[in-house]
Amino acid sequence: MTDFRSFRASAVVLRHADWGEADRLLTLYTRERGFVRALAKGARKVTSRKAGHLEPFTHVTIQLAKGRDLLIVTQVETLNAFLSLRDDLMKTSYASYVVELLLRFSYEEEGANPSVFNLLVQTLERLEAEEDAWLPVRYYEMRLLDAVGFRPHLFECANCGREILPEDQFFSFMAGGVICPRCGEGLPNLAGISLEMLRYLRHFQRSSYKDASRARPSPEVRKEAETLMQGYFTYLLERELNSPGFIRRVKS
pLDDT at 188: 86
State residue 160 phi and psi, 5-degree precision.
-110, -15
Q: Per-block average pLDDT, block size 10, for the chain (252 residues)? A: 75 92 93 93 80 90 92 94 93 97 81 94 97 96 94 96 94 96 88 94 94 92 95 95 92 86
**CA separation for the pair 204, 13 (Å, rounded):** 27
Residue type, 188: P
- Give the pLDDT score at 3: 46
Secondary structure of 204-236 in HEC code, one letter for each residue: HHHCCHHHHCCCCCCHHHHHHHHHHHHHHHHHH
- Give CA–CA dist 60/80, Å, rounded: 7
**pLDDT at residue 4 in the model:** 61
What is the predicted pLDDT for the residue at 2? 46
The pLDDT of residue 43 is 82
CA distances from 43 to 14, 18, 50, 171, 224 (A): 16, 9, 6, 48, 44
Q: Which domains does the chain have, with CATH numbers?
A: 6-81 (2.40.50.140), 84-251 (1.20.1440.120)
pTM: 0.92
Listing DSSP states for 36-54 in one string gives EEEEETTTTSTT-SSGGG-
pLDDT of residue 172: 96
